[in-house]
Amino acid sequence: MPELSPETLLNAALGLLIVMTLAGAVLAVTLRKVFHNLLGFGLSVIGGAGVTLILGSEFVALMQLLIFLGGIAIAMVFAVMMSTPNEQAEEPRSAGAVIPAILLGLGFTALICWAMLDGNFPQSSPYVAEAWSVKNIGLLLLTDYELPFEAISILLLAAIIGSVLIARRTREPEPSEEADRG
Amino acid sequence: MSGIYLRFLPELGLLGLALVLFFIAVGPGQEADEREPADSRRKRLIRAAIAGDRVALVGGGVVLILAILAVRQAGPLFFGAYRVALFSQVIKIILAAGLFFNIWLAQEAQSLAPRERPELMLFLSLSTLGMMMLVSADELISFYVALEIAAYSLYILVPLTRGHGDHNEAAFKYFLYGAATSAVALFGMSILFGLAGSSSIPQIATALSANPSTLAVTALLLTLGGVFFKLAVFPFHFWAPDVYQTTSHSVAAFIAGTSKVGAVAALLRLLLMGLSLDQLYWLLGALALLSMSYGNLAALAQRDFKRLLAYSGVAQGGYILLGLAALDSAAYAAASYYAIAYLALMLLCFLVVIELGRTRHGVRADGSTDNSLPIDALGGLYSRSPWLALALMIGLLGLAGVPPTAGFSGKWFLFKAILDQGGFWWVLIAGINNTIAVYYYLVVLKAAYVTPAADGATAIETSLWPRALTLSVGLGVVVLGIAPQIIMPTLQAAVSAMIGS
């Protein structure tokens, strides 16, 4: 049995993770039950986090798992469980809608792949563990990336107020709809 | 030290205004009490709504003054993530003016429930804040977050109209298109970051100019796509007619005017990186010609005035894009000038829409508001309200590019700048398009001036506010049209300074 070098193993793991990411994405789009779509999304996120880990950024990989899987996917599961009536009848997708969508998606992918072949990405600086440390990321968030860091809080506030506002519309009807038209 | 605060003054003012409006929106008077009689609750809500309207109007005026005060500021902020320059400051004044006039138009808005009017003002301010940050953002993540602040506020505003009707469908369409184009833009930005190894826009510009590739153009186009959606140019316009037609008039006015200026400024911000990529010239030019031809032809068939304005907006976005495609400072200045003129003309058109909307209590069987405005409803406008008819005439003639309005000089500058770049065929197609457009603008004017009023249509009492707005904005359009040298040199200096740096 030939000796497996660490590089081969790493590449194999990377390939596996990429397949996992893609398979998850395909499941998330093709399956007909919302819950199954969510599982596919989760699989895709785990694969993506694995790729990030292999590329040497532990913190980002961990955050991806925590935020996307632990936060967003779980929130979506709750939303589905609370809102979808049990076992809705599923209409089959019409070929008229699916085929153009597939063609468009494949065309876009082909275009990007074709463009990528032409791109020359600069060689990244050699891997420095220090560069991706939590300390460094914290420093960057309070210096170079302070503005987006603060602006995101405005964005989140707007999104929260907005979702409360829109949820309120469906829950309590406006008082005396007609009377104040005056 | 004080200079640093001065540089951020308009944005700080808007943030303060948003905070005050937030407290009005959640403040005393908004909570529901079961024991309170419905009548007194309604009065309380209306009082709060009027308070919100007035506070927003005063605040909008203050922000406009702050923006004017901050015009001479220049320099970086936030560790280089934000850059204040003449270009950004001029655009901020325009945005602040747009917000102020939009708040003015939205005073005592009829198509919104009183309970939701403070929120209308809040999100108008937040959206403008996002656009202001967009113009100054010098770093991709800040750019993206600012774009999202501007967009999210609009996603929330579009469904804010009385009752539940097909505006929900339009709002959902708008949100889905917005989310999809935003994802595409983010993808483009990630490639730009990969190519440059930095998220700073000037560094990306240097990297791309040093090493232009098909991938660089593709990534830039994807990034621009996120903004094309906001400008509603051809393949990104599908939401516009539905949203214009079904959302409340005040929100439609903001989307049609102020948000377009924000979009043009954001496009300029990205193109002003000083790129000269040949493929971009052809791609943007083709997009512009498609957009104006499609918009004008589709507008011909419209029976609803708001839908017509939406399709005409698609076409007008095409003219602006043509200026951007020329990749030249004179054309950029012309495009900015045209965007400013377009904002003023939209304010005039929507003044008519809003004032007419106050007299049309269109309620459907399901209790939702009918926010559409058929062109027939404009019949006899001249006899019903000469003021509104005047506003409509200046607005439409300006859009059609008739002298002496700013719409004419704007098109003049645009076409001249493109001709100087050797784009004869482009100008020819744009000119043919403009001729088509004159037809449908005149159809609306004919309805307003020649067609007699429908039976039972009464005179429209225009109060002091709409008259003052007609006068001030209408006068502005004409003065700007006769004497464009008032702002043209400033715009040119601003644009050249951005390219030079």
B201: left (phi over 0), alpha (psi -120 to 50) or beta: alpha
B160 chain-A contacts, CB cut-off 8 A: 165
Contact A154 B15 (CB under 8 A): yes
Q: Where are the domains of chain A?
A: 9-80, 125-174
Region A55-63 average pLDDT: 82
Contact B215 A151 (CB under 8 A): no
CB neighbours (10 Å) of residue A107? 10
CA-nearest residue of chain A to B210?
Answer: A120
Count A/B contacts: CB-CB distance under 8 Å.
118
What's the CA gap between A45 and A24, in Å, rounded?
Answer: 8
B454 inside domain:
yes
Per-residue pLDDT 10s for chain B (501 aa) are: 456 778 888 999 999 999 999 998 887 666 666 677 778 888 888 888 898 899 999 999 999 999 999 888 888 888 888 888 889 999 999 999 999 999 999 888 877 888 888 999 999 999 999 999 999 998 899 999 999 999 999 999 998 877 666 667 888 889 999 999 999 999 999 999 888 888 888 888 888 888 788 888 888 889 999 899 999 998 888 899 999 988 888 999 999 999 999 999 999 888 877 566 777 888 889 999 999 999 999 999 998 999 999 999 999 999 999 998 887 888 999 999 999 999 999 999 999 998 888 877 666 656 666 788 888 888 888 888 889 999 999 999 999 988 889 999 999 999 999 998 888 899 999 999 999 999 999 999 998 998 888 777 778 877 888 889 899 999 999 999 999 888 899 999 988 888 765
Contact B152 A155 (CB under 8 A): yes
B159 chain-A contacts, CB cut-off 8 A: 166, 169
B170 inside domain:
no
What's the CA gap between B136 and B138, in Å, rounded?
Answer: 6
B271 inside domain:
no
Q: Output the DSSP codes for B425-442.
A: HHHHHHHHHHHHHHHHHH
Domain count, chain B: 1
Q: Give me the residue from B22, B38, B194 closest to A175, CB to CB.
A: B38
Contact B119 A161 (CB under 8 A): yes
Quick check: B159 contacting A, CB < 8 Å? Answer: yes
B195 chain-A contacts, CB cut-off 8 A: 119, 121-122
CA-nearest residue of chain A to B46?
Answer: A180
CB within 8 Å of chain B, chain A residues 78-117? 111-112, 114-116
Paired tokens of B364 = 């459907």
What's the CA gap between B196 and B205, in Å, rounded?
Answer: 8
- Residue corresponding to tokens 């309070």: A142
Q: Are B162 and B362 in contact (CB under 8 A)?
A: no
Parent domain of B332: 289-501
Q: Give me the residue from B114, B149, B194 closest to A151, CB to CB.
A: B149
In the three-class reduction of DSSP (H, G, I as helix; E, B as strand; rest coil), residue A133 is classed as coil
Q: What are the residues facing B369 on neighbouring strands?
A: B363
Amino acid at B371: N
Among B352, B355, B325, B276, which Cα is nearest to B429's? B325
CB within 8 Å of chain A, chain B residues 278-297? none
- Quote the ipTM score: 0.87
Q: How confident is the model at residue A155 (pLDDT cuts 50, 70, 90)?
A: very high
